[in-house]
Chain A
Amino acid sequence: MTVVRIPPTLRAEVGGERQVEAEGADVRAVLEDLSARFPGLGSQLFEDGDLAPFVNVYLGGEDVRTLEGLDTPVENGQPIILLPAMAGGS
């Protein structure tokens, strides 16, 4: 079981929850499990089978794009954080 933190932007898609639980052996499986239950979420997370450009997914505090992307294995109990891509750089 994996806890997935949901940013404010996407909470409406999961009934207003700040975090939801999902199952899966890798990041793709976890996000697909969520998408099956919350279709509105899935359409925002994925684009042509890959991660949508404006969503960042973190596993163990690191962006999965610098790990193995959607194929990054998820160990039991490792939380996933979803964040919108935001402009930084004051």
Chain B
Amino acid sequence: MAANSLAPSLLDLVGDTPLVELSRFAPGPVRVFAKLEGQNPTGSIKDRVAKAMIESAEARGELEPGRHLLEPTSGNTGISLALVAKLKGYPLTCVMPENATEERKRLLRLYGAEIISSPAAEGSNGAVRMALDLAERDPSYFMPFQYANEANPRAHYEGTGAEIAEALDRVDVLVAGLGTGGTLMGAGDRLRESFPDLVVAAAEPIPGDAVMGLRSLADGYVPPILDVSKLDRKVLVSNAESVAALRELLDAEGIFGGVSAGAVVHVARKLAGELDEGVVVCVLADAGWKYLSADFWDARDVEGSMEKTVWW
């Protein structure tokens, strides 16, 4: 919505986030821009996804008053759903690994959500399994399920991607964190329409041993909305690289990003270095506030302090 106008509700302030140039963090012939998704109402890109999933379910008649929302989430999606659920009058339960950060649990409870803990050793896959199981046993639950909900990539096609296409005359590379794949699929599709030679690049975390506690590969999970063939690059980033980059981003540009934002700007700068000219856009999913209680800010051994948690 336009600047200086009055918003009927916080939900009308989702999206239209700013793009800022990272000329100090990534100087050189290639211009790098960051889209600051931390400026959404609850502080993350997931506000777009939560709003789109709930409103599309309402529009299709799948979600009506009296239903109870359930979602596996270790943080941002839950907080965004909690805002949407509160304003629209639905109760919400989030299933999250028990080792999620305290800020996130506290925020969720403050917004009015209930939390069910899944075993830390099973990581995010464990939370997904538990939520799917709960929803199957109790039909009063409505599970938006961001991993398989087409409204997730569509929110980024119609929002994130369209906003970038409107703001810039040229985009050569789009970089976003790989979680559900929603941003990369939706914004990637939209930007390819405007810039056919676009490179869509995923920044992906290297999980610590402790969060890979799967019984077998067969328990693995690939989100149904993620089509890896639509990715041109898929780059692993270590926790140490992510934290080093987000500290450097804060130092150079005054931008306080979350852990995945560190990984994303790390990859954006790397890919910018492979080009002679052009424009790289990276999507910073959230800001650093929800990670303040984490140990890695002061730790000499960043990897050691981070290996027990999934960070995005």
Contact = CB atoms under 8 A, between A and B. Distances in A.
Interface stretch (A19-27, A28-36, A54-62, A70-78): A54-62
A83 to B, nearest CB: 7
B123 A86 contact: yes
Interface in B177-220: 177-182, 204-207, 209, 211-220
B216 A9 contact: yes
B236 interface: yes
A44 B77 contact: no
Contacts of A89: 77, 124, 146-147, 179-182, 223, 312
Contacts of B215: 9
B234 A90 contact: no
Nearest to A54: B220
B150 to A, nearest CB: 15
A9 to B, nearest CB: 5
* Chain A interface SS verdict (over half): mixed
Contacts of A66: 228, 231-234
B279 interface: no
A47 to B, nearest CB: 10
Contacts of A65: 228-229, 234
B217 A55 contact: yes
Contact of B207 (A44, A86, A90): A86
Interface stretch (B6-14, B17-25, B59-67, B68-76): B68-76
Interface residues of B, number: 49
Interface in B89-145: 123-125, 127-128
Contacts of B75: 90
B310 interface: yes
A27 B174 CA distance: 27
Contacts of A63: 204, 228, 231, 234-236
B294 interface: no
Given A84-B217, A89-B146, A54 B234 contact: no
Given A86-B212, A89-B146, A55 B220 contact: yes
Interface of B: 46, 72-77, 123-125, 127-128, 146-147, 177-182, 204-207, 209, 211-223, 228-229, 231-236, 310-312
Pairs A-B, 5 closest by C-beta atoms:
A89-B179, A54-B220, A89-B180, A63-B234, A88-B179
26 contacts: A8-B209, A8-B212, A8-B213, A9-B212, A44-B216, A52-B217, A53-B222, A61-B235, A61-B236, A63-B228, A63-B231, A63-B234, A66-B234, A81-B206, A86-B124, A86-B125, A88-B178, A88-B204, A88-B205, A89-B147, A89-B181, A89-B182, A89-B223, A89-B312, A90-B124, A90-B310
Interface of A: 7-10, 44, 52-55, 58, 61-63, 65-66, 81, 83-90
